[in-house]
Amino acid sequence: MGIKIADFEMKTPIIAASGTFGYADEYEDFCDVSQIGAIATKGITLEPRLGNEGDRIFETDCGMINRIGLENIGIERFIEEKIPILKKKNITYILNAAGSTIEDYAQLASIANKAGIEAIELNVSCPNVKSGCLEFGVDSNSLYELVLKVRKNYDGCLIVKLTPNVTSIESLALAVEKAGADAISAINTLKGLGIKIDYINGKFYKKEVQGGLSGKCIKPVALAMVKRIRSAVKLPIIGMGGISRLSDLFEFISAGADAFEVGTHNFTQCDACVSLALELEEFMRENKFSTFEDLKTVIKEIN
């Protein structure tokens, strides 16, 4: 069940996606967090952020829209307060890093390098902030420059999280590969708008939330994007977008994924990452697949 991306080792190929699992051990009342392949932390910036005001969550059919706005405690407090917990409880983690400028990302990478953080997931695709992130993630030249500067400052496993809100995700993947990243994770949320109209006591009331759409409803888009990325690059791909059951893992492997992130499903099944890993392990044992790589090979060879 164990996999390795660059020099970063995980117990299983299933990762808890950023923004759905807190910073460290917030889910320990529901599962053994140390048994998850890795958790991708909440998006971390140089300075603490309060996030967006107003409504932040809107439930949709088979999904949700969020506009949290990268609320977080900042890199210094993360290193001081959260890393000791992660180390004490033997939790494998990936730092999800976000910034407003290329220099922000480069500085975060340098700090992470000095702190001995083994893996970074660059968030260049969050649609819920006014500056940074998605600005870099939709332009291949800007993305190349960003990843190149981060790579110079960081020796660990470098993952870049791509947005589906583009015309050519292939050109972005190629830029990431050329700049020296170790892997790609895809996809981040789709841009969405949630509107709810209530009629109460002779008057209409409206609730509106515009932000990132996630959940089961985006899986067909995620599969298509992963397949397009695989056609363009040879980097390992961490696939995500609507994963909730064992068959989803097989579908993402078929499209070109090498590992998985589970996000929105964590909100409805708190032990989803552990349960999926156990289900995958049982399937492999019953069907005599000795390693996860063997399973991937068989699935990818299906015509």
Each residue of 170-192: pLDDT tens digit?
A: 999 999 999 999 999 999 999 99
One of 3.90.190.20, 1.20.120.160, 3.20.20.70, 3.30.1490.190 is the CATH number of 3-51+70-191+213-300, namely 3.20.20.70
Per-residue confidence (pLDDT) for residue 130, from 0 to 100:
57
Question: How would you write the pLDDT of the chain (303 residues) with one tens digit per residue?
Answer: 999 999 999 999 999 999 999 999 999 999 999 999 999 999 999 999 999 999 999 999 999 999 999 999 999 999 999 999 999 999 999 999 999 999 999 999 999 999 999 999 999 976 665 555 666 889 999 999 999 999 999 999 999 999 999 999 999 999 999 999 999 999 999 999 999 999 999 999 999 999 999 999 999 999 999 999 999 999 999 999 999 999 999 999 999 999 999 999 999 999 999 999 999 999 999 999 999 999 999 999 997
Q: What is the pLDDT of residues 87-109, one digit of tens each?
A: 999 999 999 999 999 999 999 99
Query: What sign for the dihedral angle of Cα 17, 156, 8, 4?
Result: positive
Structure tokens at 90: 């033997």
pTM, two decimals, is 0.95
Query: What's the confidence (pLDDT) of residue 137?
Result: 85
**Per-residue pLDDT, 125:** 75
How does 210-233 read in b/e, with b if 16+ C-beta sit within 10 Å? ebbbbbbbbbeebbebbbbbbebb
Q: What is the pLDDT of residue 23?
A: 96
Supply the pLDDT for residue 128. Answer: 60
- Cβ atoms within 10 Å of 260's Cβ, excluding its own: 26
- Which one of the listed residues 126, 133, 157, 217 is annotated catalytic? 126
Give pLDDT, residue 303.
73
Q: Report yes or no: 188 and 161 within 8 Å, Cβ to Cβ.
A: yes
68 within 8 A of 52, measured Cβ to Cβ: yes
Beta bridge partners of 271: none
Q: Is 126 a catalytic residue?
A: yes
